Copies of this chain bind each other. A is one copy, B any other.
Amino acid sequence: MALDRLIEKIVEKQNPTVAGLDPKLSYIPDFIKEEAFAKYGKTLEGAAEAILVYNKALIDALCDIVPAVKPQAAYYEMYGWQGVRVLTETIAYAKSKGMFVITDGKRNDIGTTMEAYATAHLGVTDVDGTEATAFGADALTVNGYLGADGIVPVINVSKKMDTGMFVLVKTSNPSSGELQNLELEGSETIYLHMGNLCEEWGKELMGKYGYSGVGAVVGATYPQQLTELRKELTHTFFLVPGYGAQGGTAKDIAGAFDSNGLGAIVNSSRGIMCAWQKEDGCKPEDFAAAARREAEKMKKLLTDVTGEIKLP
């Protein structure tokens, strides 16, 4: 099961970090943008070209120390189909460099429509008998509001393709409690109920290290819930957003890991991508090296918490 591949990469690199690739134009050094605009004008195509150059350099700088990348679909869609083409190219490039790719799309729908999303992002598309890969990521984030009808199609594709998913359980944002923290009759919260559904759904995709292919998104900004959910959801691997820019610290995340230092992968997007804008005296040309330095710093902070990361 695909999260086994992720787990092996985390252990190999001794690093439970996923680098978010959320490429706003304002994050990208001018010299890259100027070259792209010179070729394609200030157009969606020009923006997409700048993003691709930027992403590839970040992947080159990170691929031997960071096990995974998480491109956020929204930022690619913002630059139209031209941006979406660059999402495809970014995924293929990261995979060619040995990285595990989680497309953060929070997709959700039912039946044949959810099958179409699963096929798009994780599977192979049938074109009248010929197979073609649309996006080809290793895992996809999904939203479980529609129940099993929105999850089972992803499980089916994942069985065939050795891929996985992360279901939104307790998100990192300030208003996440508006719905997720409400208590059901019997005082179970909605986020815990959703987490228990992940455990149930995951039985269909159990991996060899005790974690299933149905992971959960649980924010770094709610350490208490993170610890509670780790205890309850013993077979569910966590994707943890909210570290760094959103305020979560390595200490806040301690509760997300099991006794082997596994159980979670922590995302940093702006922290790594924009390191060059924050580092004292960093030249724009050194953006990729600055990203690597920031990733090394984050790895150190996280492994101070996990200790040596071991396969069970």
Contacts and interface: CB of A to CB of B under 8 A. Distances in A.
Interface of A: 22, 24-25, 33, 37, 42-44, 46-47, 72, 74-75, 77-81, 83-85, 87-88, 106-114, 116-117, 119-121, 125-130, 132-135, 143-150, 168, 171-180, 182-185, 187, 190, 193-194, 197
Nearest to A121: B77
Q: Which of A22, A88, A113, A125 has the most CB of B within 10 A?
A: A113
Contact of A116 (B74, B117, B132, B134): B74
Copies in the complex: 2
Contact of A183 (B33, B128, B145, B184): B184
A145 B145 CA distance: 7
Contacts of A130: 42-43
A145 B184 contact: no
A72 to B, nearest CB: 6
Given A77-B120, A183-B184, 5 more contacts: A37-B128, A46-B127, A75-B113, A148-B175, A182-B184
B75 A116 contact: yes
13 contacts: A25-B126, A74-B113, A74-B116, A78-B125, A78-B134, A81-B85, A106-B107, A108-B108, A146-B175, A149-B175, A150-B175, A178-B197, A183-B185
A81 B72 contact: no
Contacts of A183: 184-185
Given A107-B74, A120-B77, A194 B179 contact: yes
Given A43-B127, A173-B146, A185-B187, A81 B79 contact: no
Nearest to A241: B110
In the A-B complex, list the 5 residue pairs whose CB atoms are closest, starting with the nearest.
Answer: A147-B178, A147-B175, A74-B116, A80-B134, A77-B120
